[in-house]
Every structure is written in C-alpha cells, then in structure tokens.
Amino acid sequence: MTTLPKKRKILLINRELQVGFMTKLAALVALGGLMSSIGLYLLAATELEAYSYRSHKLTPETQEALLLEIAGVNGLAVVLVAAAGSWLALHSLHRVAGPLWRFARVVRSVADGDLDVRTSLRQVEELQEFAAALGQMTESLAARIRRLRELHRELRKLAIELAPSAEQAPAIDALREKIAEAGRILDQFTIPTHSGSLEVRASHQADGHR
C-alpha cells in the first residue's frame, strides 16, 4: 500500500486559486485603508477649517469631538471592509464548496460500487483538475472491472466443461463455488458498457431499484 506524506512542503498547491484569492483579499484591504484615509483626511480638513474659523485654538471639548468623528469614520470603513470581505469569502468558498460536495457524492457512489457516476463543473468553479482526475479514476476502475468480468466468464465456462473424476469432484465443486462467489462480488458494481448502456448491479435488480 502506498503511503502519502502527511506534511506539505509546498504552500501553493493550487497556484491559480490561492494566488487569486490572496490578491483579491490584499486589494480589498488596500481599498479599505485608502477609503479610511480619504475619509479621515476630508473630515479632518473640514472640521479643522470650521474650528479655525471659530477660534484660533482647539479646546479640549473640540479635540474630543474631532477624535470621536474620526473614530466614527474609521469604524464605518472597518464595517464596510468586513462586509466586503465576508462577501468575497462566501463567493470564493462557494466555488470550492460546491465541487467538494459533488465530489463527496461521487466518492460515496463509488464506494457503493457505482462506477457509472460522473460529475461536471461549471467553467467558473475551481478544482477542475481534481474533477478530471476523479473521472479518470472511475473510468480506469470500470475498465478493470470489465476485464475481470470477462476473465470470470472464461473461468466459469472452463469450470463447467470440466469432467472431474470421483476423487476430483470435491475440489472442482469448491472451485466452482469460488468462481460463483467472485461473480457475485463483481455483480455488485455498476459500470458503463462499451455501447453506453448500463450494467446494473444484480443486488439492485433484485430490490427493484437502483
């Protein structure tokens, strides 16, 4: 069994996705800082001009009022940036969460023996390479199951054609039972045939549903 390394030494696993998200986040933070700076500058310039017109010096009350207004503008900028950041995170994560949800359904179907399951992603969604690799995996497994079924049919045919002697009869019967057991296991898989139709699992046929 192949054991994959637990530690990731490469931080940029999906360069396009990760760099794109970090760029958007950095641009959003920079935009928020710029908005806050512009707001504070305009407020300070307006208030200082008004206070200078009224008096040549700032009283403690005036300074406190000015600081409160500056804090209010800065708080508003923080709220706007937080709201925009939440929207960006929700939008970006949806492009990943949606495919992951579909991949989980595909993996569960494969675990149940359904190798005819497929998934397709929209062009704007992420994890396109993973979707392609998952499709290749199911196609490869289906091809191997198809080949095993062909070999099973050949073995079953050979076992039927055997004419055992009295001494060989128990061994031949045991061989036929093992071949039948292998056939029952193979029948648990659903794979697409070469013509595009389905080979439905025998167990599901017996239950009357798929």
Render pLDDT for 37-65 as a digit per residue (tens, 0 to 9): 777 777 666 766 665 555 555 566 666 66
Segment (H or E) for 199: strand 198-199
Kindly report the number of other CB atoms within 10 A of residue 12's CB atom: 10
Q: What is the pLDDT of residue 55?
A: 55
Band of the pLDDT at 12, cuts 50, 70, 90?
low
Both tokens assigned to 34: 């710029």
| pTM exceeds 0.85 | no
Q: How far is CA 50 from the centre of its chain?
A: 57
Res. 123: pLDDT tops 80: no
Which of 2-11, 112-121, 143-152 shows the highest mean pLDDT?
143-152
| Contact assessment for residue 58 and residue 66, using Cβ atoms and an 8 Å cutoff | yes
Residue 169 has pLDDT above 60, yes or no: yes
What count of other Cβ atoms lies within 10 Å of the Cβ of residue 168?
A: 12
DSSP 196: S
Average pLDDT over residues 110-132: 76
Residue 192: its H or E element: strand 191-192
**84-109 confidence digits (pLDDT tens):** 777 777 777 777 777 888 888 888 88
User: What's the whole-number average pLDDT of the chain?
Assistant: 71
Residue 141, C-beta contacts closer than 8 angstroms, at least 6 positions apart: 110, 115
Q: State pLDDT tens for residues 183-209.
A: 888 888 887 764 443 343 433 333 333
Q: Which two tokens stand for residue 188?
A: 């648990």
pLDDT at residue 197, as a whole number: 37
Whether the Cβ atoms of residue 130 and residue 107 lie closer than 8 Å to each other: no
- The pLDDT of 6-28, averaged and rounded, is 66
Judged by DSSP in three states, 123 sits in coil
* Residues with Cβ within 8 Å of residue 95, at least 6 apart in sequence: 124, 125, 126
* 138 closest CA partner among 149, 127, 150, 130: 130
Instruction: Quickly tell me which residue has 């055992």 as its tokens.
Output: 164
